[in-house]
Amino acid sequence: MPNTIDLMHLGRDRVIAAVDSRGGHVVIHGWKTTLPLTAAEAVRALEPYCDEFLYTHVDTEGLMGGTSLAAILAVKNATTRRVTAAGGITTQEEIDRLHALGIDAVVGMAIYTGALSLDD
């Protein structure tokens, strides 16, 4: 297949795999198709092919109500790779808590709306 990427030749150290979940299951195709596996199961399956994960908790994405630490920890505990979390991260306290757990944070809506200042 000429349009596929051979991840083994690319090198896993150059690949970050994105795993998105809603309602406890992985979603794909712009969050429209639900797969019968959890984010933790997906991370375990993808771990040999990447060096890091970007996990988005779609349930809380953009809602400004906080994120699901339990969902993020389930992903973190399923892998030895670095995890960056997204989806509803709204406060400096959430960012600090994730940082203390060795998890990076993606913050969008909280910055766009001014609820969280970059100066914080």
3-state secondary structure labels for all residues of 38-66: CHHHHHHHHHHHCCEEEEEEHHHCCCCCC
* Residue-level pLDDT at 8: 60
In whole angstroms, give the CA distance from residue 67 to residue 109.
12
Q: What does the pLDDT read at residue 4?
A: 55
**Whether pLDDT at 47 is above 90:** yes
Residues with Cβ within 8 Å of residue 95, at least 6 apart in sequence: 89, 105, 107
Q: What percent of the chain has pLDDT over 90?
A: 76
pTM: 0.89
Q: What is the average pLDDT value for the chain, to the nearest integer?
A: 91
What are 48-98's pLDDT values in tens digits? 999 999 999 999 998 888 999 999 999 999 999 999 999 999 999 999 999
Where are the domains positioned within the chain?
7-112
Q: Does 2 have pLDDT greater than 50?
A: no
Query: Would you state the CATH architecture of domain 7-112?
Result: 3-Layer(aba) Sandwich (3.40)
Q: What is the pLDDT of residue 1?
A: 40
